[in-house]
Amino acid sequence: MSVWTIGDLHLSLGTDKPMDVFKGWENYVERLKENWNRMVTDSDTVVVPGDISWAMKLENTETDFRFINDELNGNKILLKGNHDYWWATAGKMNKFLADKGFERIRILNNTAYLAEDICVIGTRGWINDGTDEFDAKVLAREEGRLRMSAAEGVKLGGEMVAFIHYPPLYAGEKNEYILRVIKEYGIKRCYYGHIHGKSGHAKAFTGEYDGTEYRMVSADYLGFMPVRVN
């Protein structure tokens, strides 16, 4: 049993916002399903760090979630992205999943999950510039959420691996709010998404920084193929 990750699925099976219009995203749903099910077994776990569905409300995610739950192998752990406008309270989301029978989907919201020897923690994150008052407040809130997730992770044990939607490091910028939690908890690996297009991909940081390995896992960057974590 293995843990995998891939971000930014941007599904729109229940709404009219196709990603196929963008270069590199042609037939992406079919490509994603083929690659995913070829690599991931039904006993594996896949972490999806944000931008999962274009639905505006939780009830409108049903078609996308049905695809994720029923047509993609493995158990799935979902985090919030900046385009996940449907995101609600943990109680509402968990009730929705239970009512619809989506037994293979879990929500990571100030919590942690143990999958094999990997302890999955994470949060959405935010932009790296905290000089604006509004952005500073959001960054502080996201730092707190990651800290809560990490505290829950300590209780579970295993190797703590962080999954963040926004890149903690990008184009020479550093998100000190997120980075200090990663350093404080001794997290050695961090996966993130959010970035699209060749110009954005070129600025993405992949490699070691201050003792932690960072890797971008946006779906288009990966060619719609999940990356193995363990």
pLDDT tens readout for residues 188-202: 999 999 999 999 999
Question: How confident is the model at residue 131, as a pLDDT?
Answer: 86
What is the CA 144 to chain-centroid distance, rounded? 17
The H or E element spanning position 33 is helix 28-39
Structure tokens at 208: 């070691």
For 60-91, the pLDDT digits (tens) are 999 999 999 999 999 999 999 999 999 999 99
Strands (E), 43-104: 45-49, 75-79
Question: How confident is the model at residue 1, as a pLDDT?
Answer: 86
Do 127 and 166 touch, CB atoms closer than 8 A?
Answer: yes
**How far is residue 102's CA from residue 114's CA, in Å, rounded to a whole number?**
19
For 132-160, the pLDDT digits (tens) are 999 999 999 999 999 999 999 999 999 99
Model confidence at 129: pLDDT above 90: no
Model confidence at 7: pLDDT above 90: yes
- Where residue 105 falls among pLDDT bands split at 50, 70, 90? very high
- Give the CA distances from residue 216 to residues 14, 161, 207, in Å, rounded to whole numbers and listed in that order: 27, 14, 10
Model confidence at 53: pLDDT above 90: yes
What is the percentage of the chain residues whose pLDDT exceeds 70? 100
- Give the CA distances from residue 225 to residues 40, 80, 119, in Å, rounded to whole numbers and listed in that order: 10, 20, 22
Map residue 193 onto helix, strand or coil: coil
Structure tokens at 97: 């999943």
All domains in the chain, ordered by first residue: 3-228 (3.60.21.10)
For 213-226, the pLDDT digits (tens) are 999 999 999 999 99
